[in-house]
Structure 1
Amino acid sequence: MTHPSETDNQTEQLLSKSAPTWVVHFFVTLAILIIAIMVIGAMFASKPEARKFGSRPTPSVAVETSQLQATQYDVWIDSYGTAKALTQTQLVSDVSGRVVSVSPSIRAGSSFKQGEVLLQLDDRDYRIEVDVAKASVADAEVKYMQELAQADIAGRDWNVRPGNAKGKALALRKPQVAAAKASLDAAKARLAKAQLNLERTQIRAPFDGRVMRQTVDLGQVVNPSQTIAEIYSTEAVEVRLPIKMSDLSHLSLPEDDRYQGENPRVVFEGEVGSKTYQWQGELVRSEGAFDTATRMLYVVATIDNPFQNTAQRPAIRVGQFLRAKVQGQRLTNVFVIPRRAVSQDYFVSIAQEGVLKKRKVEPLWTDAESVVVPASFNLDNIASTPSKPALEPSDRLILTPTANLPDGTRVKFIGDVSETQQAANSNGQDEKARSAKGSANKTKDSPANRTNASN
């Protein structure tokens, strides 16, 4: 057993040894806390001050603009159709006979002139009939002359010995003379018919044209009313063009012969091989009723000299598909806006003092490239023109699509589109009409003469 005094001594020794270690631990912990507080304070002191939301400047959207300018615009209505010969018929034989001669001009695709002999039938039987008819005429003439001589003798006898007045006509042989005269006339008619049938053995072309299909050939026997060939005239071709009901208000139709205005021009375009060519025509009439299936009105246009090959264009083929642009009315005092600057619900955007403003417009005419809106109240355009236009000449039109930008958005200009460039953009199709006009050497206005008001 340990003595109490020894235990106390050991305890004192332990306390004397552990006291410095405790102090060191205390000061180390205190130093760590001070350093941590200083680091946290430095971090809060160096943190940038958060900006207030309202202090950030409003961003601006870069847009392309153009100054509006009032002008006039020629409406051209798009359509299409198939070329059809103005006159197309079946060439038939009026008499029967065997084909003894065939002209090269009656072959399919060949051209012929009016009056040209296309087919010759065996005419020997018809020549005999002519000779027989001539003999009949000669015999009838002799009999008629005999009756006239006998009537003259009877007249002299009547003058010497007059008889009953009621029998005077019979005594003077007037009935016999009339019968002889009728026989002579009948003989002459049979001769004329025989000569006509002889002429009909030569089947001639009724007009200048071309052959679509030949149905008989050398050695074949034909009968009356039998088709010899299918032919068509090369004078002109017709094209039936469907016009939508909404476009009729912009078109002057030559309804009948009383129409005194100038026929609207039509520019046709079609492909021959890999190249595209143009032909000039005019609107000549409209059909009397709407098509019940499409609710469209068909108008008819003609193309003059369509089968003439030139350096500028080839001949048109019957049955060829053609695109057409029909000349409509001229709209005056209007703005011509590029189609890309107009939304589907006909809103446009303008820039006023750097702020986007949206305006609702009422179009007078629209096509794939342009939307035409009134610049002011004008009854010459349409009766429903609004009294106050949505756009003014001083407005700056935004050409960049702005469908997703709200009204009031700040905008900045990245450049204006020149009038020349705008005209080229909106009148791309009409430049084709200008080239067609130059090739036809015409002095009338072409579709390209319109000025684009949006520039």
Structure 2
Amino acid sequence: MGPGPTVRKKPIIGLLQVAGVVVLMLLAFIYSRPPGVPDEASVAKELAASPGKPAPLVSVVRPSALPGQLAVTSTGSVAVRSYVTLTPQVSGRVVATSPALRSGGSFAAGETLVTLEQRDFILALAQVQADVTSAQASLQLSQAEASAAIANYQMLSPGKETPPLVAKAPQIAQAKAQLQAAMARRDIQQVNLERSVFSLPFSGRVVESTADEGQMLSAGQSFGRVYALDAVEIVITLAPEELAKIAPAEGRAAMITADGLNFEGRIARVAAERDPRTRFSQVYLTASNSEPLTPGTFVSVKLKGPAIENTFKLPESALQVGQSFWIVKDGAITGMDATILGRSNGHYLVEAFDYGDGIVTGAVPGAREGLPVRLAETD
């Protein structure tokens, strides 16, 4: 009989505990409501109860519609479009190198970088020049013999055409071919002699070089790497919406800042494909003076888009909650969903619209559609 009353009390205690939790949750909800945020009905009731209460003061701006321009900023780095491998076309021993042929050195177009020993090339050229002279003599001899043979034949057979064999046509053709071959060998040796002096047709900088006096260089064997100054470019990435702001992008002017120095530049091209992960596009720019730019340097770039007619330049304080604006019209505020073109230097560039008595700046306590307000500048 003793345990019976205890069993009947347990459900009652559980219900009391649940009821206590519900009460605590209701109290927490009531006291957690932010004070001073009445709904529209409460505000209307309050205004009706206190008709003498003044309308809130608001500050406004009255911008003029002017041409605007969007700007896009980005960061990137200096890169090289392509490197050039230093490779001799002839073999030989190095007898002289330019002081510029060192890592970090700069050279001009046509400047001699490496000179190979030229004695072998000079001798080879002299030898083939002698072959040319010999071939010329052989041709002249064949032509003279042919002239004599033709004259004798005409004396013996007047009025008849001289046969090719009598006119020594095969011998003359062979002599001409030998002369042409000798001249070709001479031209090859002349080119080899010129190639013993190594230079490049562009101005650039040396990345690395292993050539030095006394070293033997072999044809086709690399001895360094350089890049042309006009191969230096700036690479940045832009989102699709940023590219849209400056469209058309190619040829667009840019201001490039690198290591505290400013350079003028232009967009040369936009990558044909977007990055498959970020969906951004790589944009390549060229600077007006690329010589001071070192590959690998981080840069900041500012791009200016095309001019846009009829725009407002509004302060950030004019933008209200919901990406809209309040305007004052007939003594009350009303919402305006204007087209925001972009943001730059603490201002919004907005398509021009009819703003009535002005565009409100800053927050308006209890703001709502149709709320009567006073302009601060008229008080």
Please classify the TM superposition score into its range, dividing by the shorter chain length: 0.7 to 0.9
Task: Look up the match of 1:84.
Answer: 79
Q: Which of 283, 288, 293 is the aligned partner of 1:304?
A: 288
Task: Look up the match of 2:354.
Answer: 392
Q: Which of 177, 188, 191 is the aligned partner of 1:196?
A: 191
Taking a change above 3 Å as real, the CA distance of residues 170 and 295 of structure 1, as seen in their structure-2 partners, is farther
Once the two structures are superposed, what CA deviation does each residue of 1:47-95 show, in whole Å capped at 9, x if it has no partner? xxxxx99248657656543223221101222233322356642222111
1:264 equivalent in alignment to 2:226: no
1:357 equivalent in alignment to 2:357: no
Q: CA deviation at 1:251?
A: 3.1
Once the two structures are superposed, what CA deviation does each residue of 1:353-390 show, in whole Å capped at 9, x if it has no partner? 66443322222334563332222xxxxxxxxxxxxxxx
1:331 equivalent in alignment to 2:308: yes
Aligned residues: 332
Residues of 2 paired with 1:172 and 1:338: CA distance? 100
Residues of 1 paired with 2:186 and 2:234: CA distance? 46
Q: CA deviation at 1:288?
A: 3.7
Task: Look up the match of 1:348.
Answer: 325
> Counterpart of 1:223 in structure 2: which amino acid?
S
CA contact (8 A) 1:68 1:395 kept: no
Give the TM-score, by structure 2 length. 0.76
Task: Look up the match of 1:439.
Answer: none
> Counterpart of 1:360 in structure 2: which amino acid?
D
Once the two structures are superposed, what CA deviation does each residue of 1:428-455 show, in whole Å capped at 9, x if it has no partner? xxxxxxxxxxxxxxxxxxxxxxxxxxxx
CA contact (8 A) 2:316 2:348 kept: yes
Task: Look up the match of 1:238.
Answer: 233
CA contact (8 A) 2:320 2:326 kept: no
Once the two structures are superposed, what CA deviation does each residue of 1:212-244 show, in whole Å capped at 9, x if it has no partner? 222332322221122233222234742234343
The equivalences for 1:84-163 within 5 A come to 84-85=79-80, 88-162=83-157
RMSD of aligned alpha carbons: 3.2
Q: Which of 210, 213, 226 is the aligned partner of 2:208?
A: 213
Taking a change above 3 Å as real, the CA distance of residues 352 and 253 of structure 1, as seen in their structure-2 partners, is closer
Once the two structures are superposed, what CA deviation does each residue of 1:182-240 show, in whole Å capped at 9, x if it has no partner? 11111111111111111111111321222122233232222112223322223474223
> Counterpart of 1:332 in structure 2: which amino acid?
E
The equivalences for 1:279-294 within 5 A come to 279-294=263-278
Matched-pair identity in %: 27
CA contact (8 A) 2:70 2:344 kept: no
Q: CA deviation at 1:265?
A: 1.3
Taking a change above 3 Å as real, the CA distance of residues 79 and 199 of structure 1, as seen in their structure-2 partners, is same
1:322 equivalent in alignment to 2:266: no
Taking a change above 3 Å as real, the CA distance of residues 329 and 115 of structure 1, as seen in their structure-2 partners, is same
Residues of 1 paired with 2:52 and 2:118: CA distance? 104
Taking a change above 3 Å as real, the CA distance of residues 89 and 160 of structure 1, as seen in their structure-2 partners, is same
Task: Look up the match of 2:33.
Answer: none
Task: Look up the match of 1:172.
Answer: 167
CA contact (8 A) 1:235 1:304 kept: no
CA contact (8 A) 1:268 1:324 kept: yes
CA contact (8 A) 1:91 1:230 kept: yes
Residues of 1 paired with 2:211 and 2:76: CA distance? 32
Unaligned runs of 5+ in 1: 1-51, 256-262, 308-314, 376-390, 417-455
Say which SS state the counterpart of residue 168 (structure 1) adopts: coil
Say which SS state the counterpart of residue 171 (structure 1) adopts: coil
Taking a change above 3 Å as real, the CA distance of residues 215 and 176 of structure 1, as seen in their structure-2 partners, is same
Q: CA deviation at 1:173?
A: 0.9
Task: Look up the match of 2:63.
Answer: 68
Task: Look up the match of 1:224.
Answer: 219
Residues of 1 paired with 2:365 and 2:230: CA distance? 53
Residues of 1 paired with 2:236 and 2:78: CA distance? 10
Unaligned runs of 5+ in 2: 1-46
Residues of 2 paired with 1:217 and 1:319: CA distance? 28
Say which SS state the counterpart of residue 145 (structure 1) adopts: helix
Residues of 1 paired with 2:57 and 2:127: CA distance? 100
Residues of 1 paired with 2:145 and 2:132: CA distance? 20
Say which SS state the counterpart of residue 95 (structure 1) adopts: coil
CA contact (8 A) 2:327 2:356 kept: no
Say which SS state the counterpart of residue 303 (structure 2) adopts: strand
> Counterpart of 1:280 in structure 2: which amino acid?
E
Choose 1 or 2 for highest CA Rg: 1
Give the TM-score, by structure 1 length. 0.64
Taking a change above 3 Å as real, the CA distance of residues 90 and 159 of structure 1, as seen in their structure-2 partners, is same
Residues of 2 paired with 1:397 and 1:186: CA distance? 89
1:277 equivalent in alignment to 2:261: yes
Q: CA deviation at 1:136?
A: 1.4
Taking a change above 3 Å as real, the CA distance of residues 55 and 341 of structure 1, as seen in their structure-2 partners, is closer
